[in-house]
Chains A and B, each alone.
Chain A
Amino acid sequence: MHNTDPATAAADPVIRVEGLAKEYRVYDKPEGLAASIRGLFHRTSRVVEAVKGVDLEVGRGEFVALLGPNGAGKTTLLKLLSGIVTPSRGTARVLGHVPWERDDDFRRRFALVMGQRNQLWWDLPAAESFRLHQEIYRIEPARFQRTRDELVDMLDVRRLILQPVRELSLGERMKLELVAALLHEPEVLFLDEPTIGLDVVAQHTIHEFLRGVQQRRRMTVVLTTHYMKDVAALCERVVVITRGQILYDGSLAEIVDRFTTHKIVTLDFDEPPDQRRIEGFGFPCEVRGPQVILRIDRSRIADALPEILRTEGVRDVSVEDVPLEEIVAGLFRADRREAGAVGAAS
């Protein structure tokens, strides 16, 4: 399956980033007409560090999620890797190329899909955009047809490719965007929030599709997302970015292991239980009718469970990890507190 063994990854790194940093100069525009007029003559600017010294190595065939709160630098990192942005400092090689030199040989070997931007022609059927991609990526006709048919069938969108794109739903458009991006069989795929605004069914279809294509082609994928469902379904490796720096880089299993202190135990009773008895367990709890949700410290779970199960009236029990959303939100929060403390000190 995926290759996340660091030793093998280092042997064949498709993406290698060292000390990559990007600063922007942004101009402050104060409110009000008078300030705007003053702004014509004198503008105050400040430097924003979107990415500060990132080191990252991604091996062939890895599926990596970039997670982080808004403004953490995820998209900037993706733009640096796809050559849209030149860095202020540091180096990067993608498939052996410097991305921001944008040579055609490099550009024929990767693809970038941004969830909110379309590369398909709005007024024409997607089949026409595909034809254009065949030309600009120089795909042999036989190969083009085979790849297109394969991708279109995997997503079950054959009936949509002859319809003008503007008539399609957001989910349908996203599927066709993905087909367009994968026609030239890129070795590296960058996805910026590919499931944004999509319903659960479309999200699921896209997950299945991406997993299928990625495994079949041994493609390297880097994705940014806010949906933990994307991460759980697709990525074994997670890179958490906050304030332009990597906070965590490791496997999904490890993130759960390292950043959770407790498990969630759900008890189903025959009838709403006595509140006092539940409180007697000594764990934070939440009662929802006949259902009780307890948060139990991981170190105590083995001792606590038998006792809890002896409680009268327990019909069912489940023990689960804290949801990924909560873990990641906790990580972001902790980082923000730290940032706040630093800010206050300086």
Chain B
Amino acid sequence: MSAAGEAVRSAAPLQGLRTWWTMLSICLEERLVYRGDFALGTLMRFLPIVTQVFLWTAVFAATSRTDISGYTRNDIVAYYLLTMLTRAFSSMPGLAGGIARSIRDGSVKKFLVQPVNYVSFLLAARVAHKLVYYAVALVPFAGVFFFCRGYFPEPPDAVTVAAFVVALVLSFLLGFFMEATLGMLGFWFMEVSSIVFGYMLVQYLLSGHMFPIDLLAGVPSGVAGVSLADVVRWLPFEYTAYFPAAVWLGKVRGTQLVWSLAIEAGWVVAMAVACRVAWRRGVRRYSAFGG
């Protein structure tokens, strides 16, 4: 290879980053065109929590216990509020459907013809989407958390906060790669909405969005000495809602925290690989079928 070729090759990762940055900034501009009125929508998102809080209030009223699986009534409210925050990172509205649509209507062809990677493009678009969302949702989120500050325990130590932030960032990546992989199924199926619906259902049950996973600690899995919570720990779902919230509330500590972060990171890598494989195979099928 020539010296010039070497220079190009060594500059490639930097170039890739620059390209990604440009994609991000253009996606940001595009999102800002349609910022819409997220603020009201964000407040509406908190409404289901009110029902949950009423339900749990009734549960606590019916029992003489002050805590259930280690959660006091205040913990429960704080937990649901925190899962709202994690889901603001991990949920990917429209991602899978959008990918499937681009396959159906053929706009995905652009990414076959141009020297640009579809998955990195989608990631840039999603980061932009989230950044704009946070900018708008910051005020309602801050308002709700301030209003409900009484339900929260004392803020955790710096290490826990750092672990929480890492868990949140990983939950974003995990949510992204899981949904992007589902979207890639559009190469095989005309419509992925029912697959996405099934995924959402499992996600709702096992992510901790519905109830804290600790409640499954006493539920046997069928294997002696292994609870359902232990099983769920090894699945990717709880890392998109339960895990970061549990870290903040101090439910996961020490070696268990390190282990869980490692499992989460492992799932991010696994799903990123799955996404890439699905893309490559999908494209092969697509171009064999006739584009």
Cβ proximity bits A99-126 to B, threshold 8 Å, 1 near / 0 not: 0101010011001101001010101100
Say yes or no: A138-B15 contact (C-beta < 8 A), given A84-B109, A100-B287, A123-B33.
yes
* CB of B120, distance to nearest CB on chain A (Å): 10
A244 contacts partner chain B, Cβ-Cβ < 8 Å: no
With a cutoff of 8 Å between Cβ atoms, the chain A residues found around residue B23 in the complex are 132, 135
How many A-B residue contacts, CB cutoff 8 Å? 70
* Contact for A84 among B29, B113, B115, CB less than 8 A: B113
Say yes or no: A82-B287 contact (C-beta < 8 A), given A128-B29, A135-B22.
no
With a cutoff of 8 Å between Cβ atoms, the chain B residues found around residue A131 in the complex are 22, 26
Check B116 against A136 for contact (C-beta < 8 Å): yes
* Contact for A85 among B30, B116, B290, CB less than 8 A: B290
Interfacial residues of chain B within 68-117, with CB under 8 A of chain A in the complex: 106-107, 109-110, 112-116
Check A136 against B115 for contact (C-beta < 8 Å): yes
Check A119 against B287 for contact (C-beta < 8 Å): no
A209 contacts partner chain B, Cβ-Cβ < 8 Å: no
A86 contacts partner chain B, Cβ-Cβ < 8 Å: yes
A295 contacts partner chain B, Cβ-Cβ < 8 Å: no
Check B109 against A124 for contact (C-beta < 8 Å): no
B57 contacts partner chain A, Cβ-Cβ < 8 Å: no
Q: How far is the CA of A108 from the CA of B19 in the complex (A)?
A: 14
* Residues of A in contact, count (CB < 8 Å): 34
B135 contacts partner chain A, Cβ-Cβ < 8 Å: no
Check A108 against B115 for contact (C-beta < 8 Å): yes
With a cutoff of 8 Å between Cβ atoms, the chain A residues found around residue B149 in the complex are none
Check B30 against A121 for contact (C-beta < 8 Å): yes
Q: How far is the CA of A164 from the CA of B109 in the complex (A)?
A: 23
Check A86 against B30 for contact (C-beta < 8 Å): no
B47 contacts partner chain A, Cβ-Cβ < 8 Å: no
With a cutoff of 8 Å between Cβ atoms, the chain A residues found around residue B22 in the complex are 131-132, 134-135
Cβ proximity bits A21-60 to B, threshold 8 Å, 1 near / 0 not: 0101100000000000000000000000010000000000
Check A128 against B26 for contact (C-beta < 8 Å): yes
With a cutoff of 8 Å between Cβ atoms, the chain B residues found around residue A119 in the complex are 110, 114
With a cutoff of 8 Å between Cβ atoms, the chain A residues found around residue B18 in the complex are 135
* Contact for B106 among A50, A117, A121, CB less than 8 A: A117
* Contact for A136 among B112, B114, B290, CB less than 8 A: B114
* CB of B113, distance to nearest CB on chain A (Å): 5
With a cutoff of 8 Å between Cβ atoms, the chain A residues found around residue B112 in the complex are 83-84, 102
B291 contacts partner chain A, Cβ-Cβ < 8 Å: yes
**Which of A79, A131, A135, A138: most chain B CB closer than 10 A?**
A135
Interfacial residues of chain A within 207-240, with CB under 8 A of chain B in the complex: none
Cβ proximity bits B5-23 to A, threshold 8 Å, 1 near / 0 not: 0000000000100110011
* CB of A89, distance to nearest CB on chain B (Å): 13
* CB of B110, distance to nearest CB on chain A (Å): 5
Say yes or no: A124-B26 contact (C-beta < 8 A), given A24-B290, A50-B290, A107-B115.
yes
Q: How far is the CA of A121 from the CA of B289 in the complex (A)?
A: 27
A242 contacts partner chain B, Cβ-Cβ < 8 Å: no
Check B288 against A86 for contact (C-beta < 8 Å): yes
Q: How far is the CA of A104 from the CA of B112 in the complex (A)?
A: 10
Q: How far is the CA of A131 from the CA of B26 in the complex (A)?
A: 9
Q: How far is the CA of A164 from the CA of B34 in the complex (A)?
A: 13
Say yes or no: A117-B107 contact (C-beta < 8 A), given A24-B290, A123-B33, A135-B18.
yes
With a cutoff of 8 Å between Cβ atoms, the chain B residues found around residue A104 in the complex are 115
With a cutoff of 8 Å between Cβ atoms, the chain A residues found around residue B290 in the complex are 22, 24, 50, 76, 79, 85
Q: How far is the CA of A138 from the CA of B239 in the complex (A)?
A: 38
Closest A-chain residue to B15, C-beta based? Answer: A138
B284 contacts partner chain A, Cβ-Cβ < 8 Å: yes
Check B33 against A85 for contact (C-beta < 8 Å): no
5 pairs, CB–CB < 8 Å, chain A vs chain B: A24-B289, A85-B291, A86-B288, A128-B29, A129-B26
Which residues of B does A touch, CB under 8 Å?
15, 18-19, 22-23, 26, 29-30, 33-34, 106-107, 109-110, 112-116, 284, 287-291
With A111-B113, A119-B114 known, 11 other A-B pairs at CB within 8 A are A22-B290, A79-B291, A83-B287, A85-B287, A85-B291, A100-B287, A123-B30, A123-B33, A135-B18, A135-B22, A135-B23
Report the 8 A-B pairs with minimum CB-CB distance, sorted nearest first: A107-B115, A84-B291, A135-B22, A104-B115, A136-B116, A135-B19, A123-B33, A86-B287
